[in-house]
Structure 1
């Protein structure tokens, strides 16, 4: 009888032949070994699948699933539907886990039954895998998780969370109609239950790759998705969220300004910063990263050069999948 793994690691993969081996090796090297890795090839047209098959042949914990291209949420949901583990871990096909990632998080979930989602601090890495100076602490900026998530996604990115499988049964899976903010939407639904805690591990256990290739930032799409997620959160918890909406929108516009800056669209970055200032200018003196974004936009030509040098290229920074 085949033993059911404790953790199912869901790895959505779309045209990541350049990176997928390093990603999966970081799983092979985990100090916690009782896992299955479900790599969901979301209609790749490169040799991603062939590389994955090689690893599957040498390690039976790895399984390749293939489907027509449907986007990141579709790939994650497909993997979750095939998962056997009590816990779900997310790892995008070009990111990397520290060797203690699973062991640290699973120990916490074993220890505290009221914790539903665990995550860690992260560091960004360049396209070539070299670390940058940019880290994400994952520290929430508000004591209420719903309000904290609406202002900033403290989980940080899609390769960070490990959570109980039962949460999907309780609140549903990733919303496939959203082309961005889909992870924030899921965390918000979990937070709104007021049943489960989020736990932050202060150690850097995830490495998030910023690539010069992939799907370009679609700022309009991101704004539309963000507005939909905020509206849904407001409908779920109107008394809690409505008083905070000016601040929530200020943070959203600041985030869009940063993405516009990274993509080299300086005028759009300035427009979003102006909108953020109109909504709630206090975020720029209460939050260091917001202040840095404001200064970067105001000094955009210098900032663009600094971002380019940090990430190893001096052209558009683009999103993934």
Structure 2
């Protein structure tokens, strides 16, 4: 294998359903000089055998198989194993645009003063159909927004410098909000973030995921990570709002009765806005080869 210029960091726990499509989207990248560190966190499904199959045919796949210890430990174990300073994150159920690694690598070369680059994302369901788009805030100053806890970076779509993440101690032990806590630590150290307005990642949204099932805990963890003073009632109201959002934006089952009219109308309008964004960026969908494969399967 040619010496890699980029490390890809992925953690897997029982992700067998979509894992082949995820790995295929990685192996089909136009940028080929990468290593892909896949940490299998004690999966009890077929994830391990799937990873082993791909590792046997492509030596860029590097498997770390370990007992289950949770996402944060797995991220730190995988990060230590990365041999390159430029690290691209990836989740086990998501899909990358075929040019994603090339685009992110070049961005990091062109922006040596930037510690982390985030991008836009399409949202997909388990059938790998596009159901939404990451919020786009016109004129967003990402660093200022992070300092004020006013924005969310989708963790698996970022690229960062390993040395910068390690300089703040790696991923902090903040369950359900390790990414938010990490960004906070990096900003406190004066490290710079940049938002690349290209949708080159497809992020799975499903009503059975860890974030969905632990929404109150996750919101509370994010609030605590941002040192925001609030109450459990306020957090519960945010969770209610988010569940209404998921219904109207992503087609999740209805969970909240007596929905406030303001939020219903707001999210219906936001759903229209997201469809307009999907249309605006539709040319990027051609680069998600794995989505086409899934639709043909």
Which whole-Å CA distance do the structure 2 matches of 1:123 and 1:106 have between them?
20
Structure 2 CA distance, aligned partners of 1:105 and 1:139?
21
Q: Shift of residue 197 of structure 1?
A: 2.2
Residue in 2 aligned with 1:266?
256
Cα distance in 2 for residues equivalent to 1:187 and 1:223? 16
Other-structure match for 1:203: 198
Task: Indicate whether 1:9 and 2:5 are aligned.
Answer: no
Equivalent position of 2:102 in the other structure: 103
- Which residue of structure 2 lines up, in the alignment, with residue 148 of structure 1? 146
Instruction: Name which of structure 1's ranges 109-118 and 213-222 shifts more when overlaid on structure 2.
Output: 213-222
Taking the aligned partners of 2:140 and 2:238, their CA distance within structure 1 comes to: 17
Q: For 1:161 and 1:298, locate their aligned partners in 2 and report how far apart those are by CA, in whole Å.
A: 26
CA distance in 2, matches of 1:296, 1:75: 41
Q: What TM-score do you get using the length of structure 1 for normalisation? A: 0.71
| Larger mean Cα displacement after TM superposition, 222-231 or 211-220 | 211-220
TM-score in terms of structure 2 length: 0.77
Gap runs ≥5 in structure 2: 247-252, 272-297
Give the total of aligned pairs: 260
Work out whether 1:19 is the aligned partner of 2:18: yes
Gaps of 5+ in 1: 235-244, 274-290, 304-321
Change (3 A) 1:266 1:139: same
- 1:227-248 Cα shifts (integer Å, max 9, x gaps): 32022xx7xxxxxxxxxx68xx
Task: Provide the rounded CA distance (Å) in 2 between the counterparts of 1:140 and 1:117.
Answer: 20
Name the counterpart of 1:125: 124
CA positional deviation for 1:221: 1.6
Tell which has more relative contact order, 1 or 2 (C-alpha 8 A, sep 6+). 2
Q: 1:191 aligns with which of 169, 180, 187?
A: 187
Q: 1:125 to 1:298 in 2, by over 3 A?
A: closer
Q: Superposition pairs for residues 22-101 of structure 1, below 5 Å?
A: 22-101=21-100
Instruction: Give how far 1:116 is off.
Output: 1.0
Relative to structure 1, is the Cα distance of residues 70 and 99 closer, same or farther in structure 2, using a 3 angstrom cutoff? same
Displacement of 1:224 after TM fit?
3.1
Quote the residue 1:167 is aligned against. 164
- 1:36-80 Cα deviation digits (max 9, x unpaired): 101111111001010111111111000111122222222111100
Corresponding position: 1:158 with 2:127: no
Kindly provide the CA deviation profile for residues 81-103 of structure 1, in whole angstroms up to 9, marking residues without a partner as x: 11111111110100011111111
Could you tell me which residue of structure 2 aligns to residue 284 of structure 1?
none
SS in 2 for 1:31: coil
Q: Distance in 2 between matches of 1:140 and 1:41?
A: 38
Moved more, 14-23 or 214-223: 214-223
- Are residues 1:257 and 2:279 paired? no
The separation in 2 between residues aligned to 1:159 and 1:6, in whole angstroms, is 19
Secondary structure of the equivalent of 2:68? Answer: coil
**Contact preservation (8 Å) 1:76, 1:174:** yes
